[in-house]
Structure 1
């Protein structure tokens, strides 16, 4: 580990990255394994949906009606977060895992909806990146006017013609 001298003492302190040391490998396995149990990314969701047939989960858009009309994932169920307690059991099957999404990384609506669904007994994951990264990665979506597909943003998706980011 490289240490740098502080300007106020003769003691050495690690850089900001290593000021708190990395977790043990066992703790990292537990943490990252748990993270994957709670999250899916847009590329994995898109790949599973594009494979055809039943992907084994249902996608739930947790945003308002105006946001839904602006654009949503094809085949998604529209269930705004505030309506989860009263409508989830009529719209969703508890035997089918749910993947929630909202606007994007700056919005926690999908997290709140996932919590509400879990409290009702649903198995649930949150789609990291939300609708923003779905559109930015160039995946097709639907609006009130019909289907749309934007060019992939090269800062969020591979520039080549592939849906696989390689990660």
Structure 2
């Protein structure tokens, strides 16, 4: 089950750094800054080491987010520092995560986005800079409320263009620029 032990401080620090520098700092998600500033992001660090543990913790976090007051917790980052290191295993997990969402009757209420240290979009090479739009320091399942996504899309009419804009941002930055950007403190 996710905990907040002191041993998790480096994991939490690396995840927050990635969120503030990459996701917010490069505006990869124009909706992230608001929930970050309002402290509405739950960071859940899982102790799972296998798929069964991952899905058990994911189910608990889906339930927690679904029942939480959105003004308190609008979104959750479930971080898996001890599981899913292999990107193909992570991809397999996404299938089971989506199936779990449906089984829990939360489809249409919550959504799952994915981030991984070796994230690779279909049709790309492993080192293509575009993959870095979804690269995080650890395997992460991002749990989002559909209602929040709808409000954000209404406020950001060009939401469908975010994916392409992000890839262009990273192409301009390049690998060296990415490394330099991520080394800077928040």
TM-score by length of 1: 0.27
Q: Which protein has the bigger helix share?
A: 2
Structure possessing the higher radius of gyration over alpha carbons: 1
Q: Higher strand proportion, which one?
A: 1
